[in-house]
DNA sequence: CTCCATGTTTAGAA
DNA sequence: CTTCTAAACATGGA
């Protein structure tokens, strides 16, 4: 699930539970998740330290290690963060488990192992190296419109390009375009100021609603596409059967009647 | 067995 | 150089 809203939920979970606890041990069950650092190196960076604060940029989560670097987490297609106590059970597919002095644990969970864990000097440095665009929720309307004016091609491809704007992926781009009533393949160059303003508003509304719904489609407003898509099929606006196409290399759901 | 999946990177084509 | 597509990554589920 990990697009911007999901990662924001992970960030808040870590923030409310796992800060300022002494790290006693780091177990790496899936070394393939680590990028540019060995299991021993990761343990050396973390053990006897504490997490001080968190930060998020797009789909990337950063955790400041006191008197040290930042832990940078990306979650791929199915990554998750689980926090559990002494009585809790280690989740399946826990690739990295951090044990705290209070008996609690933080686990990076992923079966497909498409995410990555690494150390960064600081978030800014990491964002620059990855060529990430501005965070979707930190972006103001003027900058958004200016970026869009420079963009080319299908609006969905542009919106999901992390080098343009960081945080929007396949699932939420469908929701944003549905709310903005824009066809996923609509050429960006044919969008006027009203279209772009509407797109910006929809992006903020969708991302903020998703965070408020704890990134759970079942808790989202019933006028959203997401719950309908889970249920399997009809436009919550006009009732037409939803259609699919391929855009930006991925399956795209949309309403041909409402989106142009 | 086949196909598909919420992400990213890379190779190759146009 | 830009843009797009397909494949690859690893694995589970329908």
Residue A218, pLDDT above cutoff 90: no
With H, G, I as helix, E, B as strand and everything else as coil, classify residue A153.
coil
Burial of A89 (C-beta count, 10 Å sphere; 0-12/13-18/19+): exposed
In 3-state terms, what secondary structure has residue A241? strand
For A7-41, the pLDDT digits (tens) are 999 999 999 999 999 999 999 999 989 999 999 99
Is the pLDDT at A81 greater than 90, yes or no? yes
On the question of pLDDT at A228 being above 90, the answer is no
Ramachandran angles phi, psi of A217, nearest 5°: -55, -30
Average pLDDT of chain A is: 92
When pLDDT is averaged across residues A168-180 and rounded to a whole number, the result is 94
Nucleotide nearest to A249 (CA to C1'): C5
Mean of pLDDT values over A151-179:
93
Consecutive H or E run containing A60: strand A60-65
Decide: helix, strand or coil at residue A232. Answer: coil
Q: What was the pLDDT predicted at A1? A: 66
Domain A141-254 classification at class level: mainly alpha
- What are the structural domain ranges in chain A? 4-129, 141-254
| Intrachain domains A4-129 and A141-254 with the same fold | no
Q: pLDDT value at position A132?
A: 92
Strands A23-28 and A250-254: unpaired
pLDDT tens digits for range A124-142? 999 998 999 999 999 999 9
Q: Which nucleotide is nearest to A30 (CA to C1')?
A: C10
User: How many residues make up chain A in this entry?
Assistant: 260
CATH class of the domain comprising A4-129: alpha beta
Q: Which nucleotide is closest to A248, CA to C1'? A: C4
A247: confidence class by pLDDT, cuts 50, 70, 90: confident
Strand B neighbours with CB under 7 A? A 1-3, 6, 58-59, 74, 76-78, 112, 114, 130, 160, 162, 169-171, 249-251
Q: How far is the CA of A207 from the C1' of C14 (A)?
A: 29
Residues in contact with A167: Cβ distance below 8 Å, sequence separation at least 6, in sequence order: A3, A4, A7, A57, A58, A59, A135, A136, A137, A207
The DSSP H or E segment spanning A223 is: none
| Amino acid A231: pLDDT | 72
Residue A232 has pLDDT above 80, yes or no: no
Contact A56, A11 (CB under 8 A): yes
């Amino acid at each position: 699930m990990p697009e911007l809203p999901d990662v924001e939920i992970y960030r808040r979970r870590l923030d409310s539970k796992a800060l300022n606890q002494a790290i006693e041990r780091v177990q790496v069950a899936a070394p393939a998740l680590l990028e540019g650092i060995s299991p021993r190196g990761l343990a050396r960076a973390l053990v006897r330290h504490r997490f001080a604060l968190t930060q998020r940029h797009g789909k990337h989560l950063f955790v400041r290690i006191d008197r040290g670097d930042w832990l940078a987490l990306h979650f791929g297609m199915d990554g998750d963060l689980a926090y559990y106590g002494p009585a809790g059970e280690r989740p399946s597919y826990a690739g990295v488990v951090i044990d705290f002095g209070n008996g609690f644990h933080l686990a990076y969970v992923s079966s497909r192992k498409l995410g990555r864990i690494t150390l960064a000097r600081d978030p800014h440095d990491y964002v620059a190296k990855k060529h990430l665009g501005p965070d979707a929720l930190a972006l103001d309307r003027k900058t958004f419109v200016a970026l869009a004016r420079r963009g080319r091609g299908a609006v969905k491809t542009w919106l999901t390009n992390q080098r343009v704007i960081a945080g929007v992926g396949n699932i939420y781009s469908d929701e944003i375009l549905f709310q903005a009533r824009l066809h996923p393949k609509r050429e960006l160059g044919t969008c006027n100021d009203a279209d772009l303003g509407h797109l910006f508003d929809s992006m903020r509304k969708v991302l903020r609603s998703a965070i408020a719904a704890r990134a759970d489609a079942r808790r989202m407003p019933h006028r959203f596409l997401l719950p309908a898509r889970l249920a399997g099929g009809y436009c919550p606006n006009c009732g037409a059967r939803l259609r699919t196409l391929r855009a930006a290399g991925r399956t795209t759901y949309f309403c041909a009647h409402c989106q142009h």
